[in-house]
Amino acid sequence: MNDLHDPPDGSRRRLIQQWGAILWPSFVAASLASGVFFAFVDPLRLRDISFPQHEISRELGYTLGFFMFWGVTAAASTITWYLLRPIPSDDDDLPLG
């Protein structure tokens, strides 16, 4: 049986580190983006402009905005992680020249 105090194996640890490297910076960036954005934009005024038929509270507007920023910054971090992966060392696929 797996104990909670057992260290994770190599592949699981690598996966946790990758998710942490994606989610933590995107969380910090989303926090900063939300703070700057909502310093200038009131969620109720934004609701009146975009979705006047829906009853959205100010707190729900802040929450939705934060998760929107977090999703966008997590996508950007994921794309960065994908582009920075090491290239497999297969000599047959190298271009000539």
Sorted by where each begins, the domain ranges of the chain are 22-84
Task: Summarize pLDDT for 7-62 with one digit per residue, the tens.
Answer: 667 788 888 999 999 999 999 999 999 999 999 999 999 999 998 998 989 999 99
Q: Which two tokens stand for residue 73?
A: 């910054």
Which carries the bigger pLDDT value, residue 2 or residue 67?
67
How far apart are the C-alpha atoms of 70 and 32, rounded to whole Å?
10
Residue 27, classified by CB atoms within 10 Å of its CB into exposed (0-12), middle (13-18) or buried (19+), is middle
